[in-house]
Amino acid sequence: MRSIKGPGLFLAQFIGDSAPFDSLAAIAGWAAGCGYAGVQLPTLDPRFIDLGKAAGSKDYCDTLKGQLAEQGVTLTELSTHLQGQLVAVHPAYDSLFDAFAPSALQGRPAARAEWAAAQVKLALSASRNFGLTAMASFSGALAWPYLYPWPQRPAGLVEEAFDELARRWLPLLNHAEDCGVDICFEIHPGEDLHDGISYEMFLERVQGHERACMLYDPSHFVLQHLDYLAHLDIYHERIRMFHVKDAELNPTGRQGVYGGYQPWINRAGRFRSPGDGQVDFGAIFAKLAQYDFPGWAVVEWECCLKHPEDGAREGAAFVRDHVIRVTERAFDDFAGAATDRAANRLMLGLEG
């Protein structure tokens, strides 16, 4: 067993246009001041990383790592959530997701998907140059508009969607193998990979690819009323990344998991800062220690109530308090006694 690394902070929700959130060094120093040991870095904002340069130059990556080290943090992983989303987009969402792509690609879904796939490849190469072994992403979605089976889905519709999703991702997974980096799909509503079964459907179509791994975020399972602890028991060998994010589901006689089109503050299911929701993080950290989880505990702040800077500061302390320093020996070793096979057989009445 090993102790989980942390605390880390996903920077996506904090990047902005004012100091200290507008440059890599400044935001890293702020994160360190909040108590974080690492940061997870999104890869679309050129103020923080030149992805093309990072993919082609280890020296450039070493320079960025040095800037982070000067501020007292390390780089935990890169994120391609937004680029991964654009690898596969149903036409119903084209106009909404166009904002994530360069303006020249807006209104051109095929070119946008090609650009997104190239971005994912660059981030995988950059991860290798940084010395990282995992990268976060979304799978994108072609079947999501048909999640609820009304009107009745035509036979083969979902299968065709997953076949195409696998076709688009398999070259990227192969590049991930070349780079020695796991692609950790965040299992997330809005993605075709939104629960264990849908992940298995995808995994089957990519021939069980070793690099098709998971980012585990229990908040999304709370909102689906999915057993997030059993999920760890089932998929722990594939889980390589962990977001510490809380949530609550308080259904009423008026609304449940679908939320009645209400804003987050009025939904039955809401994201909360770590420790303010219903997730049993004590049990999660115990299971991750039991299963020898190799990665970081990374706080992702999304809360409908709390100020992000308060959530970040409290999140660092929350993770530190939950990380288990694993034992190096069994608690009952003191009662053990040296023995051998002959002695064991004698104890069982099998000798003499």
Q: What pLDDT, on the 0 to 100 scale, is given for residue 352?
A: 55
**48 located within any domain:** yes
Residue 334 scores a pLDDT above 80 = no
Q: What pLDDT, on the 0 to 100 scale, is given for residue 67?
A: 97
Distance CA 227, CA 333 (A): 34
Tokens of 263: 């804003």
Q: What pLDDT, on the 0 to 100 scale, is given for residue 85?
A: 98
**193 located within any domain:** yes
Residue 111, domain CATH: 3.20.20.150
**173 located within any domain:** yes
* pLDDT-derived band at 337, boundaries 50, 70, 90: low
pLDDT digits over 176-221, tens only?
A: 999 999 999 999 999 999 999 999 999 999 999 999 999 999 999 9
Of 12 and 346, the structure prediction assigns the larger pLDDT to 12
Residue with tokens 């002695």: 343
Q: What pLDDT, on the 0 to 100 scale, is given for residue 24?
A: 98
Residue 338 scores a pLDDT above 80 = no
Q: What pLDDT, on the 0 to 100 scale, is given for residue 331?
A: 67
**229 located within any domain:** yes
CA–centroid distance for 226 within its chain? 17
Contact 105, 115 (CB under 8 A): yes
Residue 335 scores a pLDDT above 90 = no
Residue with tokens 């999703």: 165
Q: What pLDDT, on the 0 to 100 scale, is given for residue 68?
A: 98
**High-pLDDT (> 90) share of the chain, %:** 92
Q: Which residues are within 8 A (CB) of 344 and not within 5 positions of it... i.e. 6 or more apart?
A: none
Distance CA 103, CA 296 (A): 35
Tokens of 220: 């999304």
* pLDDT-derived band at 1, boundaries 50, 70, 90: confident
pLDDT digits over 263-317, tens only?
A: 999 999 999 999 999 999 999 999 999 999 999 999 999 999 999 999 999 999 9
Q: What pLDDT, on the 0 to 100 scale, is given for residue 308?
A: 97
Mean pLDDT for all residues in the chain: 96
Q: What pLDDT, on the 0 to 100 scale, is given for residue 341?
A: 85
Residue 346 scores a pLDDT above 90 = no
Cross-strand partners of 270: 248
Distance CA 227, CA 294 (A): 22
Distance CA 193, CA 94 (A): 19
Residue 29 scores a pLDDT above 80 = yes
Looking at the structure of the chain, the number of domains it has is 1
Residue 70 scores a pLDDT above 90 = yes
Q: Collapsing DSSP states into helix, strand and coil, what is residue 151?
A: coil
Tokens of 293: 């989880």
Distance CA 199, CA 332 (A): 40
150 phi and psi angles, rounded to 5 deg: -150, 125
H-helix segments, the chain:
24-34, 51-56, 58-71, 81-87, 94-97, 109-130, 157-179, 196-205, 218-224, 228-235, 281-290, 308-322, 341-347
72 phi and psi angles, rounded to 5 deg: 95, 15
**High-pLDDT (> 70) share of the chain, %:** 98
pLDDT (average), residues 79-99:
97
For 129, the domain range is 5-347
| Vertex 185: Cα angle to 142 and 168 (nearest 5) | 45
**352 located within any domain:** no
Q: What pLDDT, on the 0 to 100 scale, is given for residue 342?
A: 85
Distance CA 181, CA 238 (A): 13
Q: What pLDDT, on the 0 to 100 scale, is given for residue 339?
A: 74
**287 located within any domain:** yes
Q: What pLDDT, on the 0 to 100 scale, is given for residue 144?
A: 98
* pLDDT-derived band at 2, boundaries 50, 70, 90: confident
